[in-house]
Structures are given as C-alpha cells and as structure tokens.
Amino acid sequence: MINEQQEKYEKVHHVFQTIYKKYDAMNSLISFNRHIAWRKKANAVVSAEPGQKAIDVCCGTGDWTLSLAEEVGESGQVVGLDFSDNMLKVARSKINAAGAANVTLVTGDAMNLPFTDDTFDRATIGFGLRNVPDYLTVLKEMHRVLKPGGRLVCLETSQPKIPVYRQVYFFYFRMIMPILGKIFAGSYKEYAWLNESTQKFPDRESLVALFKDAGFKNVSFISLMGGIAAIHQGEK
C-alpha cells in the first residue's frame, strides 16, 4: 500500500509540474468554463467571514485561494498549500498582481499538513482530493487543523449515474480530454491520468461516508450538472 501511495504521489507530482503553464486554460476548456460558476457556488457554501483564518489545500494556481482572501478581508488570513512549486509559481503571480497581502503560499503535503491542531476556521480543497494518495488521510488532516465548529468544503468531480449521460461523460474523459490535452497543452499522458483519477474517485454517497469516517458531522453535498461534479461540506 505504501509503495502504491508513493507511486501515485510521484506520478501526480510529475503531472502538475508538467502542465502548470496551461492548467488554467485547459481547466476552462475541459469544463466548458463551468468550473468558475462551480467554485463560486462552493465559495458560498464555505461562507467565510471577515477576520477568519482559512486554508486552501491543493490550491494549485490559486483561484480559490484568492476568492477566500476576499471573503476574510484584510483582518483575516488565508494559506494556500500545494505540493507543486510550479503550480505555486502561477498562484504567486496572481496573488502579487491582486495585492493580496493576507495570503501565504506554502509548499506542503496534504497528507501531512504542517500546522497544529485547531488552527483554521475554514478549509477548502478544489479538484485536488482525487489526486492524493489516500483520500481519508487527507480528510482527517483537514479535520485536525480545523477549529471546533470549523467547516470543510470540497469541490470535486463525481460519478454521474444517469444512463447514457454517464457513458457520454466517461467517453469524453477517456477519449476526448487527452486529445485536447495533446493539442492545446502538448500533454497527452498527463491528461490521460486526469481521466484515470476521475474514474477511480468515489461517488457522492461514498465521499459522504469518508467525510464521516474522518470525523466530520452535518455532512451534505450539492450535485452539479447531473452529477459530473459535486460540492461536499462537513463541520468539525
């Protein structure tokens, strides 16, 4: 199991170290630009308040991190954590351009968050949970660093169950998305991996169970576009 987790860690790290320059453009292309509306909806679920402290795990190029920074305001703090320093380079350029002095970017492992217990009021993870070596370990870590009463919100791909629609969805991810990756980003293998990670990720109900196993209560989800993505939230 440890070897499998290490193999996934190294594989995913290589993917994001490779595709970072084209990540944002490809994200918009692949999701037909829906990821922006999804994140806005997820941010409303987070319901961060001025002065709070938040962490955005697997923050990537920093879009959700910046949204959180606006919500908590100058009196609040946001940490964006990712294991890819190349992705963080893109995030840092955005944060500098926005003048977001309340954001700190950290290179770190979602499986072993470098923070003490009960540090944050809010925690988010967007399109990152499916890429970690062990989903439950990451959820437990996010539960650990949240303060009592704190909230975790996860925005992630899911498993549509509507007949035909499900088949079309997985055909798109399996056949079309890697071709788009090759044409527009020069990265066929890397986008083939994103298909693999999507196929293996738990469905909505299974992810609810993982949230509960990690210690979260009042767990719920919002299904997006017939189940191709979902917003899950839980409280500590």
Known binding-site positions for S-adenosyl-L-methionine: 61, 82, 109-110
Burial of 184 (0-12, 13-18, 19+ CB in 10 A): middle
Cβ count near 114 (within 10 Å): 11
Q: Is the dihedral of CA 115, 126, 151, 214 positive or negative?
A: negative
Distance in angstroms (rounded) separating the CA atoms of residues 113 and 145: 8
The Cα 223–Cα 212 span in angstroms is 18
CA distance 80 to 94: 12
> What are the binding residues?
61, 82, 109-110
